[in-house]
Each structure stands twice: as C-alpha cells, then as structure tokens.
Amino acid sequence: MVYVTRRERFNAAHKLWVEEWSEERNFEVFGKCANPNWHGHNYILFVTVKGKPDPITGFVMDVKDLSTIVKEQVVNKLDHKNLNLDIDFLPKGIQPTTENLVIHIWKQLETHIKGCQLHCIKLYETENIYAEYFGE
C-alpha cells in the first residue's frame, strides 16, 4: 500500500456566526471570526489516496487525474467564493470551520476516486491551523 498526496489551493471568504445567537454571544465564542463583513484565507488542501502502484505505469492513481477531480469537485466550487453563501455542497447554516470543511470535502470526493481509496483530507486555514479527516 502506497499513499499519494496532491496539494491544491483556494482563496475564500467566510465568517463564523450562529443565527440563533445574539451578537454578543457570537463575538464571545468566535471573536474576530464573527466580524460582520467577512474575512478570508488562502486555504491549502492536501488530498491523499492509497493503493498498490500499477506494475506497468508505477501509478497508484494518475496524479493529473486526481488533480482534475479535486479541481472539478472541490477547488472550482470554493475558490474566490464565500464559504457561508456560495457553496452548494455545504449544508445550509453549517459553520464553515476547517473541521467541517474537511468532512464535506471528503464527502464531495469519495465517490469520484476510482481504482484506489481516498485516505485523508487535510486543510490548512493558516500556517498555524489545520484539520484532517480520514472518513470516519
């Protein structure tokens, strides 16, 4: 079993805000992440698949194909978008935290990986914070 990882990037706006809470409670919990006019990040995404290298090509999966799938299913839908307002694959009202993003990026990708298995979604929000999800 060999693990292969592809890095992709997207830049997006978001804020953390619970509609049912008062402004005061939102700022207490989310701090400056609750600022009303949004802020944003350069997100860095690592998608890892695992499998046996093909005896002829030496590929677990063609990394160009993996990149195409990740761009079509994830990056093109998130890049230069607002994560609270614009993303069809995020449930309505869900907080666009890095934790929730990795789970829903996994769901978005898992049925598109053929011939090997999706292993890990890792997402950097800043150089100091990242989340990982392994499908369960």
DSSP 8-state secondary structure symbol assigned to residue 61: S
Pairwise CA distance, residues 63 & 6, whole Å: 7
What track of x and - describes contact with a copy of itself for positions 69 through 88 (by CB under 8 A)? ----------xxxx--xx--
Residue 23 among the catalytic residues: no
Query: Nearer to a copy of itself by C-beta: 96 or 113?
Result: 96
- Is the separation of the CB atoms in 110 and 70 below 8 Å? no
Helix (H/G/I), strand (E/B), else coil: 66? helix
Query: Nearer to a copy of itself by C-beta: 18 or 112?
Result: 18
Supply the DSSP string of 70-113, one letter for each residue.
HIIIIIHHHTTEETTTS-TTSPTT----HHHHHHHHHHHHHTT-
Binding of a copy of itself at residue 5 (CB under 8 A)?
A: yes
Helix (H/G/I), strand (E/B), else coil: 32? helix
DSSP 8-state secondary structure symbol assigned to residue 62: -
Binding of a copy of itself at residue 115 (CB under 8 A)?
A: no
Query: Nearer to a copy of itself by C-beta: 82 or 117?
Result: 82
Binding of a copy of itself at residue 64 (CB under 8 A)?
A: yes
Q: Which residues bind a copy of itself (CB under 8 A)?
A: 1-9, 11-14, 16, 18, 29-33, 35, 37-42, 53, 56-60, 62-64, 67, 79-82, 85-86, 94-100, 102-103, 126-134, 136
Residues marked active site are found at 33, 80, 125
